[in-house]
Amino acid sequence: MKSIILIAGMAVMLLLAPHAEAQRYATKDGRITFFSEAPAENIEAFNNQVNSALDVATGGFIFRVLMKSFQFEKALMQEHFNENYVESDKFPNATFSGKVANIEEIDFETPGTYKALVEGDLTIKGITKKVSEEGVFEVMADGSVGGKATFFIAIADYDIKIPRTVINNIAEEIELKVDVLLSPLNK
């Protein structure tokens, strides 16, 4: 009798395992763009090496960015960004760890576009601040999930100091656009 219960229990676990795994999505090649609009110039950079994961069951959502992977139009801008502003050698990653607050309103089984409220902790230069922004999840017919959100961060909040000589070249508030295409982990 115990053997029958054990075999039945294992069968149920095997049948449910693929469904449970489908509740998690990830990518290693998401994209973040950085934009600074200032009186003297606009500065834009992009990073295509963004790791991100979403757990549908809990709403947990994370991403990690290697700071040295940001690409700028001018090499000198990239050098100043890494050496002077974000100190990439000392703080190699920026991270977000949080959740999709309205995860229950998103139907991951039905293709379509859904509003999402993303809340959590954004860490840059070792400094963590609470952030909350609206975004969008697009459930694709192939089972993948696209996620987009725009964060506005004050550079002073992350102890990023701008020298007086270039104060008109860099905005006090930076726009970060996150764009990820997450694939189910069981595929």
Average predicted confidence (pLDDT) for the chain? 87
pLDDT at 176 over 90: yes
Lowest mean pLDDT among 111-115, 136-140, 166-170: 166-170
Higher pLDDT, 165 or 88: 88
Higher pLDDT, 163 or 111: 111
Tell me which residue of 21, 102, 91, 93 sits closest to 61, measured CA to CA: 102
pLDDT at residue 171, rounded to an integer: 87
pLDDT tens track for 85-129: 999 999 999 999 999 999 999 999 999 999 999 999 999 999 999
pLDDT at residue 186, rounded to an integer: 72
pLDDT at 68 over 70: yes
The first and second tokens of residue 184, run together, are 């189910």
Q: Decide: 26 and 184 in contact? Cβ < 8 Å.
A: no
For 122: left if phi > 0, alpha if psi spans -120 to 50, otherwise beta; the answer is beta
pLDDT at residue 187, rounded to an integer: 55
pLDDT at residue 170, rounded to an integer: 86
Q: Decide: 86 and 124 in contact? Cβ < 8 Å.
A: yes
pLDDT at residue 169, rounded to an integer: 85
Tell how far CA 131 is from the center of its chain: 12
Q: Decide: 26 and 183 in contact? Cβ < 8 Å.
A: yes
Domains and CATH numbers, the chain: 24-184 (2.40.128.110)
Q: CA-to-CA distance for 42 and 60, rounded, in angstroms?
A: 34
pLDDT at residue 1, rounded to an integer: 45
Q: How confident is the model at residue 162 (pLDDT cuts 50, 70, 90)?
A: confident
Q: Decide: 121 and 142 in contact? Cβ < 8 Å.
A: no
pLDDT at 77 over 70: yes
pLDDT at residue 165, rounded to an integer: 84
Q: Decide: 23 and 57 in contact? Cβ < 8 Å.
A: yes
Q: How confident is the model at residue 166 (pLDDT cuts 50, 70, 90)?
A: confident
First-last CA distance in the chain: 36
pLDDT at 21 over 80: no
Q: Decide: 54 and 61 in contact? Cβ < 8 Å.
A: yes
> Percent of the chain at pLDDT above 70?
88
